[in-house]
Amino acid sequence: MIKNIYSVYDPPSYTSKTICHGHNIYKVNEKTIFVPKGFSKTHINPVNFLGLKNKFYIKKILIVDRIKPEIKNACIIGHVNRSGFNFFINVQSAKDLPMFPDMSNIYTAINGFKQIIVHTVGPKRFNKKTMLKELVSESSGLLSPVWHYVGVEVLAISDFNLQAFIDD
């Protein structure tokens, strides 16, 4: 059972909400959902993620992403960043972490889910009609490297499955 979920969207309902390290932190059915206050380097960066990791003892996180076309029971096992952006550009390394970390094998597959590779285009481009023939994601290719960098195991799914993970 995964207790830590990361999404760029607030959950529809929750039992409590706090703010920490540039994120809204929601409690829902014994799960903790982390939502950045904005999709920017101010909120999404290695220092904030390391702070969240240490404060909430995060060892594993489930990133919930929007994917086109929508696929049921799919987990992301790889990505191509086509957003033209990266949360590591012009950012100092956090604590004693390496400046150029290994970014291979970022994702952990989820048993029973179809394994997919996505092309991340970012929130602005995701809502526009895209000409890509590949599976397009909104944010996992931007978020997962930062979580991986701070030493958190990363799992990622399409948002179709969010409620099932909250309810389990």
What pLDDT, in 10s, does the model give residues 110-129? 999 999 999 999 998 898 87
DSSP secondary structure string for all residues of 78-98: EEEE-SS--TTTT-PPPTT--
Gyration radius (Cα) of the chain, Å: 15
| pLDDT at residue 8, rounded to an integer | 93
| pLDDT at residue 102, rounded to an integer | 79
| pLDDT at residue 80, rounded to an integer | 94
- How far apart are the C-alpha atoms of 21 and 55, rounded to whole Å? 10
Low-confidence residues in the chain, pLDDT < 50: none
| pLDDT at residue 29, rounded to an integer | 86
- How far apart are the C-alpha atoms of 125 and 108, rounded to whole Å? 26
> What's the distance, CA 74 to chain centroid?
15
Residue 54 phi, psi dihedral angles, 5° rounding = -70, -40
| pLDDT at residue 127, rounded to an integer | 83
CATH topology classification for 4-167: Rossmann fold (3.40.50)
| pLDDT at residue 147, rounded to an integer | 96
| pLDDT at residue 61, rounded to an integer | 98
